[in-house]
Structure 1
């Protein structure tokens, strides 16, 4: 079996690529990073290191790479032979991937099953990719192609290794895939197939991602530069628990997660954040602040729900203020946000960008 994975970065190699390799796939990575593609085609293998005391190491063999901009014919052949296509490129890049995939999918000469999965840190990202592909194929039939959405979770910290291809990852990972949208009988081991994906997407988004944002934005106000430094401060841990206590109310009100079950999940997440072998830079964790303050993302969606239902949301209100005060001039979204606040004020920015009402905006402004 053959797989093409778009995105040869650390997530692609350390998480998705490893799972595919473990399932017996020949994995071809497609990327525009010439240095990584050249290394893949030179070595055809790399090592995934588990970041914990006495962590194991795994050799990922039989891989190669294609430069998506320079090797169009080779990429077309790989797509035509693929049994599975995955991405880990960032949701904003999916329309570009769609333009690459669409002509080859529309001209498939085989009816064998093909699944295409966007493994992105976004809600229903495969739907986004599918819509972009359909817009390109102009009504052509995409026979026996599945587009299952998925939820992925594995912390891969910023790192620099002696071998450019080697990757350090945390021990924990979770990959959940929509079962009803999968075509064919060959499912992946080490993956959880479910009928309803949304509870898993939002549990991860409003626990792992909201938690990471809380550490980054509050930790930075206290002068910390890394997750490890911040998590050594019990004030940060206490605030993190308050935030996740509020998102728990959202999750248990909207899905079938029991409160005790969610508390156990939170303890697992906090233990992951405390892992000293995974410490990441707070500027990197907090970047993309406009996305993080958008209406359906990790902070605003649970905050609005709790506000509208008269439930406690003080910690999430503070998190908005910490995000607004985040200082990372290397983040283009931070620079844009600062400009918009300077032009429209905090009220105008939160009303226009986060779609908040005036009452909640006043609560947020008076929260710290």
Structure 2
């Protein structure tokens, strides 16, 4: 049996491919292979194909490195290779399609979806993730290859439902009969995934050569910790991912909230505040008292909204402190800071809404993340296509904290349901300008 994966990158190779390797190692029967396709760039496929898609995974703990070989990726290809993509998706031996296309991949601009719709109508390949999935499912239906499970592995709440909505919506516009087939034959599984996986560096490749004697051009370095919680049906079967510790539950939503509101929200705080204070990695930011104090305050604001008892939350936070202070995992803040316009809603605004619904005000630390993001957008290191229009507007009045706060919160939450959050963001902007002394209005203006 086979898995098809869209979004070949380091996280997939450290997480889903690793779990599948563990499943195969524990199985007495035939193992599962992964046909992996790239998302935005074909580069990963080019590098991996040169070494038969076999690569080294290094688990980097505080005390040392442990290297292992991952052999479950059996083929790699450019996601833009239409014939190979359709052929893989039409294979009746394929039972699962997994996805790591980033948060933004599920909600591409409407113009991109419109363009994909025209390409699909003409028989050409699609560019967006929803478009490629629809194209692949159409090929599967036409081949009579049967049902499968689509499994999102990105940091989105209700990611299975988000995937279903994106795919079914585009399919209905293309062919209502195809949409009906998808509704009847395809399941959409929701998951919570967790494993910190920084971008691989030349130093990592040198480490692998020293540890193994293998000149691996595409190793993956990750932390020892890993978690995967899944909820949904697998109508054509699946690997025995339990062998790697995966959990199958009736409702993944509480686990999503715990991860988004503690780990991911914490990462966003450390990224935006840490970059403003001149840090490069999560561990560096954790060593800065201003960053770590703000992080603890953010966690206290979120913990009251989680459906877990105090002991469970305390254990989760203790694990996060250990993981975030592991200086041997160089998790780059600039990598975490990308696409804040997509990430801050589920990570920061949703727990703030939960506080409001419970009769509490949004927290000052939650507002502080938004304030730090505003200053990040005003600087010269922002990588967020979804915030380009907002950034242009903010740069028209970089000194007016009230306007910056109001405009940003309105952009992130057009419904206007966040109570006093804009006022708190304004206050936090003033505090950040006062405490982050090297960040001046002149430097912000001079960035562009």
TM-score, with structure 1 as normaliser: 0.89
Conserved in 2, the CA contact under 8 Å of 1:88 and 1:119?
yes
C-alpha displacement of 1:155: 0.6
C-alpha displacement of 1:298: 0.8
**Out of 242, 246, 249, which is 2:304 matched to?**
249
C-alpha displacement of 1:184: 4.8
Matched residue SS, 1:150: strand
C-alpha displacement of 1:9: 0.9
Matches within 5 A, 1:1-368: 1-23=1-23, 24-31=31-38, 33-44=41-52, 45-52=54-61, 53-61=63-71, 63-70=74-81, 72-81=82-91, 82-93=94-105, 94-111=129-146, 114-134=148-168, 135-136=170-171, 137-140=175-178, 141-142=181-182, 144-161=185-202, 162=205, 163-179=216-232, 181-184=233-236, 186=238, 187-189=240-242, 190=244, 191-251=246-306, 255=307, 257-294=308-345, 297-307=346-356, 309-311=359-361, 313-326=363-376, 327-333=379-385, 335-342=388-395, 345-346=403-404, 347-355=406-414, 356=416, 359-367=420-428, 368=431
Matched residue SS, 1:27: strand
Matched residue SS, 1:65: strand
C-alpha displacement of 1:172: 0.9
The 3 A distance-change label for structure 1 pair 88 and 324 is same
> What are structure 1's unaligned runs of at least 5 residues?
none
Matched residue SS, 2:90: helix
Report Cα offsets for 1:291-319 as digits up to 9, x if no partner. 2343xx21112123324512571221222
Distance 1:184 1:96 in 2: 23
The 3 A distance-change label for structure 1 pair 348 and 17 is same
Conserved in 2, the CA contact under 8 Å of 1:148 and 1:177?
yes
Matched residue SS, 1:83: strand
Distance 2:135 2:21 in 1: 24
Distance 1:291 1:34 in 2: 24
Distance 2:2 2:200 in 1: 29
Distance 2:319 2:99 in 1: 27
Conserved in 1, the CA contact under 8 Å of 2:284 and 2:327?
no
Distance 2:191 2:16 in 1: 12
TM-score, with structure 2 as normaliser: 0.74
Matched residue SS, 1:155: coil
Distance 1:121 1:328 in 2: 26
Work out the number of aligned pairs and report it.
Answer: 359
